Amino acid sequence: MGIASSDIVIRQLPAPPDLHAGFLFHSPAFHALKPKPQIHFGFWNKEVYQTGISFCLKDNTATSGERATFGSFSFVQLPSKEILWGCIRQMESSLFKRDIKQVVIKHWPSVFLIEDPIPEVLSDIGYNCVSKDTDQYLPINRAEFSDRIRYNELKKLKKCQRNGYQSMQLSTNWLGPVYRLIQASRKRKGYPVTMRFEEVQEAFNHLDNYLLFGAFDGDLLIAAAISIRIRSDILYNLYHADHEDYLTFSPTVLLLKSIYHYAQEIGVSILDLGISSDKGMLNQGLYRFKQNVGCMESPKLTFSKSL
């Protein structure tokens, strides 16, 4: 590499820098809701800010992306491989002095940044890819949602519409019922709810990026989603759920139609439906469902290194 670690100035910060156009998961407002202790690093080269990274610290392990879909590095303009190399070396030295034995970095799906050098640099500097998950997403363009989905899902969508089911964005007054439906749905499928209601409520109270959507049979909530605008051009589905009495109707398809149209209206280019795997093990049913509603896939890597 063409730059030495000594060329990089590292500064420990009280909070991550507010980069405005960056990912929500890198913002000071988001990190204010995360568990303590935390440590935040900023890196400069010749007085020019290059990149930063934040960690939650627990049991001699520093994790970037704790209680988020990803963490990893933030930046105004993507640094070169040489700059990243120097930044990571400085970061490791600082963490080692704090008795950190293990570093874990949850990186974002590769579709979020074309020609991303970070995975290659991490591998070159001794990080192991400990998990390769499959993220699935819908590219948002002018195409109609019904033209994107496969025949069986289109039949279910039309069945919901014939029955008069409606889907829409919801006010935060619906957070309790939405969360309870998510709890019931995930319990039925054997998945944990990764956030307590109080944590979700706090996120809605402090961040405008969190959104609710619901599908209804009359007054009955039959499908729901919690979505997050994680960047100006990316909408991420944190949770979605359906009512057990309506499984044959698949109202989640109707729900996704309204979220897709909302994304079109606000100028989002990616609707991220999240990973369809757990620690690299593919959930075939979930994967097929997302394929059937028009999703493409992208690898999402987690790296780890012992110091």
Strand partners, 104: 63, 304
**Which portions of the chain are predicted below pLDDT 50?**
1-2
101 and 230 Cβ atoms separated by less than 8 Å: no
Domain residues for 217?
141-268
d(CA 171, CA 123): 44
What pLDDT is attached to residue 156?
Answer: 96
**DSSP of 288-299:** HHHHHTT-EEEE
What pLDDT is attached to residue 6?
Answer: 60
Same domain, residue pair 19 and 92: yes
Same domain, residue pair 121 and 147: no
What pLDDT is attached to residue 192?
Answer: 85
Q: Is residue 114 part of a domain?
A: yes
What pLDDT is attached to residue 166?
Answer: 98
Same domain, residue pair 86 and 114: yes
Strand partners, 215: 167, 223
Which tens digit of pLDDT belongs to each residue from 247-293?
999 999 999 999 999 999 999 999 999 999 987 889 999 999 999 99
Same domain, residue pair 146 and 263: yes
Residues 6+ away with beta carbon under 8 Å from 257: 145, 146, 157, 167
Same domain, residue pair 101 and 147: no
What pLDDT is attached to residue 269?
Answer: 97
Residues 6+ away with beta carbon under 8 Å from 40: 12, 13, 14, 15, 16, 31, 52, 53, 54, 55
Q: Is residue 276 part of a domain?
A: no
Q: How many independent structural domains does the chain possess?
A: 2
CATH of the domain at 155: 3.40.630.30
What pLDDT is attached to residue 298?
Answer: 97
What pLDDT is attached to residue 189?
Answer: 87
76 and 19 Cβ atoms separated by less than 8 Å: yes
What pLDDT is attached to residue 220?
Answer: 98
What pLDDT is attached to residue 5?
Answer: 53
The reported pTM is 0.94
What pLDDT is attached to residue 2?
Answer: 46
